[in-house]
A and B are shown apart, each in its own frame.
Chain A
């Protein structure tokens, strides 16, 4: 058992357990906290794949940004309604059947796919490579992403404005 194997199983266990908790816990606020745990575990997966830059982005944007926004939204809606919002589920059996069928389909595809290639040695500095790709072949996409963020900001402001 190498350090990488142990790390993978630890991260995978935490990720799957917290993901299940997100969809099963009745308390919405707890679900968001479990989502934060799942996102941090995903950052751990990125670290196992030797991508320190994506690890940092995942922690800052996802675990920092998204969780904060969702917590704010829950607190706002709970304060507006003045009572705790219960988080009930419906059609649990049907949902489980569909989710299991999708998983079986993906695994069936993976079994038939030629994926046995070994992992190449990670000698390249991927952070520098990402930076060069962002201003090289993906420069237009990066600009479009900036436009999208401005539009999303304006849209969120429009929806959340006060009534007057």
Chain B
């Protein structure tokens, strides 16, 4: 029988891998992929807690985070494409227009 801690540690591992991707990727699309992994890990935690506590709120939260993530990816990629049209690059290090 797999207990709650196994699911939580799985979520923590996926979250750390996604954080590593966000910190190390140069490409803006790659950073977005890392954020996807982190949000996914949060969903695993929410569903595991909901299942082991018998509470439906965690499942509803998971539905909301999935929908919000889809909206976030659509807007984020539209911004990436808009930046790409202007600056001809999607490397996060070179997008320093707002640096003082």
Interface size class on chain B is: 35 or more
Question: A residues within 8 Å of B by Cβ?
Answer: 2, 4-5, 8, 12, 15-16, 19-20, 22-23, 28, 31-32, 35, 38-39, 42, 45-46, 48-51, 53-54, 57-58, 61-62, 65-66, 69-70, 72-74, 76-77, 80-81, 85, 87-92, 94-96, 98-100, 102-103, 106-107, 110, 115-120, 122, 124, 126, 129-130, 133-134, 138, 141, 145, 148-149, 152-153, 155-160, 163
Cβ-closest chain A residue relative to B84: A77
Given A19-B18, A66-B70, also A42-B56 (CB < 8 A): no
Complex: A47 Cα to B16 Cα, angstroms: 23
Instruction: Tell me if B56 and A45 are in contact (CB < 8 A).
Output: no
| Bound: A59/B14 CA distance, A | 18
Closest Cβ–Cβ distance, residue B98 to chain A (whole Å): 17
CA distance A134 to B85 in the complex (A): 40
With A8-B6, A65-B70, A130-B60 known as contacts, the answer to whether A119 contacts B1 (CB < 8 A) is yes
CB atoms of B26 and A90 under 8 A apart: yes
